[in-house]
Structure 1
Amino acid sequence: MTQHSVIPNPGLGTFRLKGDTLKSAVSNALEQGYRHIDTAQMYGNEAEVGQAIAESSVPRNEIFLTTKVWHDTLKPDDLKKSVDESLEKLGTDYVDLLLIHWPSPNDEVPMRDYLTALREVQKAGKTRHIGVSNFTMAQIDQAVDILGEGVLLTNQIEVHPFLQNRALVEHCKRHDIAVTAFMPLAVGKVMEDDTLKRIAANHDATPAQVTLAWLQALDIVTFPSSTKADHLKSNIEALKITLSDDELEEIATLDRGERIANPDFAPDWD
C-alpha cells in the first residue's frame, strides 16, 4: 500500500470554521461520504469537530481524523501534554494522523527533540500515523535522518495551480512521503482564472472541480474547506473528472509562485 492511499481523498478542511457552522459542515460531509477530517489545535475548534463526529452515524474507526501540534508547544513535555488536550477535546483516544503544524521557528526547539516526542506519542497509541506540515526539502531530509525512511506519512503543504511547489512535491515522493495540499483552491482565486474556466467548460464542471481533479492526477490528497452542501458534493464529484495530458500541461503553466500562507515564523522556503 502506498503512503497516499492511506489518507481518504478528498477530506474536509476546518480552518476558520467554528460553532454550529463547523458542526453542520462536518456532519454534512460525513453524510455525503467524506471520511477524512482535518483540524488543528490552533484552529480552536477541536471540541466542535469531536462533537460532530460523535453525533454522526459514521463509526469513529471509519473516519480519518487529523490534528496538528502548534509551534509554541514543541518542547517534548509540552507536545505530549498538548496531544492529550487535543484528544480530550476531540473526544477520542487516538487520532489517525498527528502533524507538526510548522517547524520550530529558528530551530528554537531542536527538530530531534520534537520529532522524537512525536514518535513516542505514536508508539503510545495516541496516533496511528505521524507527519509534518510546512517543511522544506532540507527539513524533510533532516526529519528522515532523525526518524528513518517510511516513518513520516505526509508533508502537508500549500499547493494550488498558482503555487505548484513541484521540487518539494517530488522530493517528498522520493522519500515515500505523501503530499497533502492545503489551500487547494487558492482562497477562491481558481474560480477567476481563464484557463481553468475554459478547461472546466470542456468537462461541464467548475474551476474548483478541475483544480481538485488536477491534484488527484498528481497523486496529491487534499481537503478543501466548505460549509455548503452543494460544494461538498461537487468536491467529491470532482474526483471523477479525468483531465487530458494537454489540460494538465496547461495547468502546469499557471504556476507563479504565489504563496498565500506565509507567516513571519515560516521557514526559508525552497
Structure 2
Amino acid sequence: MKYITLNNGLKMPMVGLGTWDLRGEKGKQSIINALKTGYRLIDTAQMYGNEDIVGQAIIESKIPREEIFITTKLNRSCAGYHEAKKGILRSLKNLQTNYIDLLLIHEPYPEALEMYKAMEEAYLLKKVRAIGISNFHNDNYENFISTCNIKPAVNQIESHVYYPQLSFKQKMDNDDIQMESWACFTEGRKDIFKEPILIKIGRKYHKSAAQVALAYLIQNGIIVIPKTSHLERMIENINIFDFNLSDEDMAQIKLLNLNHSLFNWYD
C-alpha cells in the first residue's frame, strides 16, 4: 500500500474501499473481506446509512483500530453548528470508535462554514484526525478555503479517466489540499472496463482496464476508493502498485478526457 501525507502530517492510504451501497450482514462481510485483503482505508458517510456496519466490521476483523483509516461525511441533517456537533457524536457512536480519521462535509451546503466550525473544534479535541470537504468546486471551493480557519486536508470529488479534473488537482496542490476521487469507475455512466485504450495498455503489464484506470489516477497523485462487494475485484483493485504507466501511456489515457462531469454535479 502507498500512503500520501496530508497537510497536517497525517498519512492516508492511496487506495480504499468505497461503501456507498453496502448494507446489512452481506455488506459487513464485504468490508471484513476488504480489510483482510489489505485495505486500510474505508470510506463511508452518514448519507449511506451504513456507518454501523463499518464500525462492526472493523471490530470483527480484529485488525488494530490504529491501522485503519476511517473516512465519514456529514450530510444535510447536520447543516448547522449545533447539528454538526450532534452529527459528529452520532458518527463516533455508529462507528464504535473514539476518533474519526477524516471527516468531510458531504456537499457545499449553505451552512457549510457553520458545520466546519464544529468540525474544527472536534479536530482540536482530537475526536477527528483530519477535516475536509467533498464536492466543493469553483466559487464554493474558493469562498470556503478563503474563509475557514483550518485549511481542509482533502476535497473528495468526481474523478475518473473521462473527467480526471487534473487542472483542479493542480489548483488544490497549490493550495496544499489533497484531491480524492469518487466514481473512479464512473458508477456505470460509461463502460470503463471495456475501454479499448485501457485494455490495450493493460495487456502490456498483464493488468485489467480497471487496474490501468486506477493507476492513472494514483500516478496523478489522486486517492481512489473503488466500490465493490466482490472479493476478486477487491484483490484486483488493490494490486496496482507493482507497475508504472509510461509517459506515453499517461498521454494516451489523457485523451479520454471529455472535459465534463458524467453526473452534472458541478453544473
Q: TM-score, normalised by structure 1?
A: 0.91
CA RMSD in angstroms, aligned pairs only: 1.7
Letter in 1 for 2:207: A
User: Contact between 1:181 and 1:220, CA under 8 Å: does it hold in 2?
Assistant: yes
**What displacement does 1:258 show?**
4.7
| Equivalent-residue separation in structure 1 for 2:118 and 2:62 (angstroms) | 34
Secondary structure of the structure 2 residue equivalent to 1:257: coil
Contact 1:210 1:241 in 2 (8 A): no
Q: Distance in 2 between matches of 1:166 and 1:23?
A: 34
Q: Secondary structure at the match of 1:127?
A: coil
Within-5 A mapping of 1:86-165? 86-104=91-109, 107=110, 109=111, 111-148=112-149, 151-165=151-165
The CA deviation string for residues 220-245 of structure 1, in whole angstroms up to 9 with x for no partner, is 11110111111111111122220010
Q: One-letter code of the match for 2:246?
A: S
% of aligned pairs identical? 34
Q: Which residue of 1 aligns with 2:6?
A: 3
Residue of structure 2 equivalent to 1:212:
214
How many aligned residue pairs are there? Answer: 260
Structure 1 counterpart SS, 2:129: strand
1:33 alignment counterpart: 38
* Distance in 2 separating the partners of 1:89 and 1:137: 33
1:261 offset after TM fit, Å?
A: 3.7
Whichever residue aligns with residue 143 of structure 2, its letter is Q
Query: C-alpha displacement at 1:135, in angstroms?
Result: 0.4
Other structure's SS at 1:219 match: coil
1:176 aligns with 2:176: yes
2:70 aligned partner: 65
State the 1:9 CA deviation.
2.0
1:140–1:172 Cα contact (<8 Å) kept: no
- Listed one character per residue, the Cα deviations across residues 86-144 of structure 1 (whole Å, up to 9, x for unaligned) are 1111111211000000011xx3x2x4322222211212222100000000133232222
Q: 1:15 to 1:261 in 2, by over 3 A?
A: farther
Letter of the 1:147 partner, please give it.
C
Tell me which of 229, 232, 247 is aligned to 1:230: 232
Structure 1, unaligned runs of 5 or more = none
The one-letter code of the counterpart of 1:183 is: A
Which secondary structure state, in structure 1, belongs to the residue aligned with residue 217 of structure 2?
helix
Equivalent residue for 2:167? 167
In the alignment, the residues of structure 1 paired with residue 220 and residue 129 of structure 2 have an alpha-carbon distance, to the nearest angstrom, of 25
Which one of 200, 203, 207 corresponds to residue 202 of structure 2?
A: 200
Q: Secondary structure at the match of 1:240?
A: coil
- Are 1:137 and 1:168, in contact at CA under 8 Å, matched by a contact in 2? no
TM-score by length of 2: 0.92
Structure 1 Cα separation of the partners of residues 224 and 204 of structure 2? 23
The equivalent of 2:193 in structure 1 is 191
Does the 8 Å contact 2:92/2:99 carry over to 1?
Answer: yes
Structure 2 unaligned residues grouped into runs of 5+: none
2:27 match: 22
Cα distance in 1 for residues equivalent to 2:164 and 2:222: 11
Larger deviation, residues 34-43 vs 117-126: 117-126
Q: Is the 8 A contact 2:5 2:12 kept in 1?
A: no
Partner residue, 1:82:
87
Q: Distance in 2 between matches of 1:21 and 1:259?
A: 32
8 Å CA contact retained: 2:164, 2:217: no
Pair 1:34–1:130, CA change in 2 (3 A): same
Q: How far is the alpha carbon of 1:253 from its aligned partner? A: 0.6
- Cα distance in 2, alignment partners of residues 40 and 200 from structure 1: 33
